Structure 1
């Protein structure tokens, strides 16, 4: 779950949305733009959701706890596919400015590996650094084809 995305959903629930009259475009928009906090609480601001939860808003607290639950569930899933060989858990993005969020993940997942927070969004810096490497001849330009690169684990 994120402020605008609903997170993982059971397929049966998605089919239920379509059966209720939503078309594929509406379901897509719900899952990727108007899901998560927006659909449940009418805001995409994690600070607002956290503040409402701290002030006793039971619905905001439930949604906040769901966010923490889903983050921790995915950390655990990734730890499992790595066979438990996890050096660190890195949290990034704007929501990581929340000490409460980081601490909640640390409490639940810190036994797997140390949890480190990198608050902020660094996508633009990463893209600029990549462009600079291409312009300096340090790296060849790549074209995104949409074809998945991961072909499974080596046996």
Structure 2
């Protein structure tokens, strides 16, 4: 699960961006964490800020809890009766649904559809868990696969054709 741009069409044409620091934990990403606990952990860990960010972005989530980042491996663990793996995987799905609910609240529930995408959307188990808790908001559509490169290329083409202005994104630290 990568940076997601969730576009909600309302009268004000709101656009919400969820980046890799927000939202639920993922296969490798820690997601949102309680700030006071995080500050305490950082102070006690002896890690540099760079090391801490690396840990949160690539050694969090499923990796931290289960030692793997592949949903297929997690699902095998669950099939083999690993209750801890099931607990963690179900928690990840529930947190995705919670974030969907949070975003729905920002547009007063005016959501036409929820689209689940990315590699994890190939998982019927995971998407069904998300659906259980999010279908009350809007229909859930599962569109597996990652289309980041295609989206970037099409965006560049729109700029070259004069259909859209290029945006400059400045990284802030």
What range describes the TM-score normalised by the shorter chain of this pair?
A: 0.7 to 0.9
Which structure: larger Rg? 1
CA offset at residue 40 of structure 1? 1.5
Structure-2 residue corresponding to 1:29:
54
Cα RMSD of the aligned pairs, angstroms, is 1.6
For the Cα contact (< 8 Å) 2:28–2:58, is it kept in 1? yes
Structure-2 residue corresponding to 1:41:
66
Structure 2 residue runs without a partner (length 5+): 1-24
Structure-2 residue corresponding to 1:5:
29
For the Cα contact (< 8 Å) 1:54–1:61, is it kept in 2? no
CA offset at residue 141 of structure 1? 3.1
CA offset at residue 46 of structure 1? 1.3
Q: Distance in 1 between matches of 2:163 and 2:111?
A: 30
Task: Indicate how the Cα distance of structure 1 residues 137 and 84 shifts in structure 2: closer, same or farther if over 3 A, else same.
Answer: closer
**Equivalent position to 1:16, from 35, 40, 58:** 40
For the Cα contact (< 8 Å) 1:90–1:115, is it kept in 2? yes
Structure-1 residue corresponding to 2:163:
138
SS in 2 for 1:20: helix
1:38-77 to structure 2, matched below 5 A, reads 38-77=63-102
**Equivalent position to 1:93, from 118, 141, 144:** 118
CA offset at residue 140 of structure 1? 3.4
Structure 1 residue runs without a partner (length 5+): 148-155
For the Cα contact (< 8 Å) 1:5–1:34, is it kept in 2? yes
CA offset at residue 85 of structure 1? 1.2
**Equivalent position to 1:83, from 103, 108, 114:** 108
For the Cα contact (< 8 Å) 1:91–1:118, is it kept in 2? yes
The number of residues matched between the two structures is 147
Q: Distance in 1 between matches of 2:32 and 2:146?
A: 22
Return the structure number with greater helix share: 1
